[in-house]
């Protein structure tokens, strides 16, 4: 599933760039550029690879464009999720067309003595990037699709739960790392610890309005966002394993 890994890397890189610039065309150009760069480094130049990588590049550009528009308008949050899911599903179903990872990426693990197959290494890089900005974007889209977040510029439930945008990637990366190390029990402890720490904080807040935000909005935001975040982490773990 090298093409899927390349798509995750492209989306992850484009999403990071989108947070660093206000020009939408920049991440839209970065995404296919990353796909081409990964193809060159991994030696993915067969006909089947090219077909899958074109799909990955198109999906990455559509993803970053639709995410930016949905974030500004607060509408059509489901559409980018559909694009992500359909593209990932197609790349998995058609993964038989792809070839094994070669090139620099194929030789590097043995050169440094890293006991991991090149295909798995590429996927691990993809799912790690998935947990950072792209993971936050997926969670935000899920929250927006159920009405738990507002368009950009309006008061958000996250205003009352500081550090969520930072804690989310850290939590997902920790779950992914523990899962790859075979410590799934420790990963569940991370989930439990977050609930134990956050719920008293939520319950301690008064049910007064913050703009249009009440305590019920914050509870919904926390629950939906947490479950969406855990699904992203566990989905990445399943792909990496």
For 216-234, write each residue's pLDDT tens digit: 566 677 778 888 888 999 9
Report the chain's C-alpha Rg in angstroms: 19
Residue 164 CA neighbour count, 13 Å, CB half: 21
- Measured CA to CA, the distance from residue 30 to residue 36 in angstroms comes to 10
- Taking residues 130-155, what's their average pLDDT? 81
Percent pLDDT > 90 in the chain is: 52
Buried b (16+ CB within 10 A) or exposed e, 126-153: bbbbbbbbbbbbbbbbbbbbeebbbeee
pLDDT at position 144:
82
pLDDT digits (tens, 9 = 90+) for 17-38: 999 988 889 999 999 999 999 9
Q: Where are the alpha helices (DSSP H) in 148-214?
A: 164-180, 184-204
Report the C-alpha gap between 110 and 158 in whole angstroms: 45
pLDDT band at 167 (very low <50, low <70, confident <90, very high): confident
Q: Do residues 131 and 236 lie in contact, with contact meaning Cβ atoms separated by under 8 Å?
A: yes
pLDDT on residue 206: 47
Greater model confidence, 189 or 171: 171
pTM of the model: 0.86
- Of residues 195 and 128, more confidence is placed in 128
C-beta atoms surrounding 102 within 10 Å: 16
- Please give the C-alpha separations between residue 53 and each of 8, 28, 93, 121, 220, in angstroms, as whole numbers: 11, 15, 14, 18, 38
226 C-beta neighbours (distance < 10 Å), count: 18
CA–CA gap between residue 184 and residue 178 (Å, rounded): 6
List, in order, residues 6 or more apart from 116 with CB less than 8 Å away.
Answer: 109, 124
Does 90 score more than 80 pLDDT? Answer: yes
Highest mean pLDDT of the ranges 71-80, 117-126, 163-172, 217-226: 117-126
- The stretch 149-173 carries a mean pLDDT of 68
Residue 191, token pair as written in the block: 């989930």
Q: What is the pLDDT of residue 209?
A: 46
By the 10 Å C-beta count (0-12 exposed, 13-18 middle, 19+ buried), 62 is classed as middle
Q: For residue 127, how far is the Cα from the chain centroid?
A: 7
Give 3-state DSSP helix, strand, coil % of the chain, rounded to 5. 80, 0, 20
Q: Which of 154, 151, 157, 156 is nearest to 75 (CA)?
A: 151
């Amino acid at each position: 599933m090298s093409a899927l890994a390349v798509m995750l890397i492209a989306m992850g890189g484009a999403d990071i760039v989108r947070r660093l610039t206000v020009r939408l065309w920049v991440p839209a150009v970065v995404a296919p550029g990353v796909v081409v760069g990964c193809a060159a480094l991994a030696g993915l130049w067969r006909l089947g690879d090219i077909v899958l990588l074109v799909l990955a590049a198109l999906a990455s550009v559509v993803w970053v464009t639709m995410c930016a528009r949905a974030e500004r308008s607060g509408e059509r949050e489901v559409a980018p999720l559909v694009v992500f899911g359909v593209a990932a599903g197609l790349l998995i179903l058609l993964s038989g067309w792809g070839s094994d990872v070669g090139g620099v990426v194929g030789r590097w693990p043995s050169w440094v003595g890293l006991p991991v197959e090149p295909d798995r290494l590429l996927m691990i890089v993809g799912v790690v990037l998935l947990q950072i900005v792209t993971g936050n974007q997926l969670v935000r889209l899920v929250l927006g699709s159920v009405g738990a977040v507002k368009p950009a510029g309006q008061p958000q439930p996250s205003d009352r739960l500081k550090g969520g945008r930072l804690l989310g990637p850290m939590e997902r990366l920790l779950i992914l790392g523990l899962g790859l190390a075979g410590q799934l029990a420790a990963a569940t402890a991370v989930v439990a610890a977050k609930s134990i720490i956050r719920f008293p904080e939520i319950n301690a807040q008064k049910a007064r309005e913050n703009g249009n935000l009440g305590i019920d909005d914050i509870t919904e935001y926390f629950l939906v966002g947490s479950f969406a975040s855990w699904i992203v982490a566990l989905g990445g773990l399943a792909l990496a394993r």
